[in-house]
Amino acid sequence: MFSRGSLKGLAIALAAILVAGCATTRGPQTRIDYDRSVDFSVYRTFGFPEETGTDRGGYSTLLTSYFKESITRIMEARGYKYAEENPDLLVNFYLNTRERTDTRSRPSAAVGYGYYGYRYGLYNAWPLYHEETETVTYRVGTTNVDIVDAARKQLIWEGVAEGRMSDEAMNNPRVTVNAVVTELLRQYPGKPAM
């Protein structure tokens, strides 16, 4: 049989497994899709559309400048040249934030609640019978980066990142945009042929 010490050790191990299973991942979840028939090595230059997804009311926003800075740095590091006129590729981007509310139920080991309260003091109700409900509201951000063949006006690559937004991320948009764009474009398959 199990000794009191081994039962305590087993309980601690089970608790550690449950905590690890409930831990959330750091950073956004990304999805990438692209046209597999495209030869990405034929493109040499990139630019931005006249109006990007983060522009508002006919003017460029600060968010737009953060995206352009980050994308320009990464694309140039890959060997592409920025071209204001007639680029081979157009890079567009969009960011959306929204509130999400989740209702979560979790079992409680509490004894003596509800219908089975009459058992209190005599013996325990079924273990983990009572459920507690918790409502959690948080902010979710979604970022899209599109790369388009400018001549054909055809989307050839798309990266999407979605994740829970912390207060720190909301207060430091330049850093947040740079981190997300870097992660997405790390998965971009193209480089110009030398």
Whether the CB-CB separation of 12 and 19 falls below 8 Å is answered with no
User: Which residues sit opposite 131 in a β-bridge?
Assistant: 107
For tokens 């929204």, the residue is 98
Per-residue pLDDT tens over the stretch 30-50 = 999 999 999 999 999 999 999
- For β-strands 89-108 and 130-149, DSSP reports them as antiparallel
* pLDDT surpassing 70 at residue 125: no
For residue 83, what pLDDT band results from cuts at 50, 70 and 90?
very high
DSSP 153: T
- What whole-number distance in Å separates Cα of residue 40 and Cα of residue 78? 12
Domains of the chain: 26-185 (3.30.160.670)
What CA–CA distance (Å, rounded) separates 89 from 149?
Answer: 5
- Which pLDDT belongs to residue 112? 47
Tell me the C-alpha distance between 36 and 28, whole Å.
Answer: 25
Instruction: Calculate Rg over the CA atoms of the chain.
Output: 26
Is residue 116 predicted with pLDDT exceeding 80?
A: no
What type of residue is 18? Answer: L
Please give the model's pTM, rounded to 2 decimal places: 0.69
Q: Are the beta carbons of 94 and 143 closer than 8 angstroms? A: yes
Q: How confident is the model at residue 122 (pLDDT cuts 50, 70, 90)?
A: low
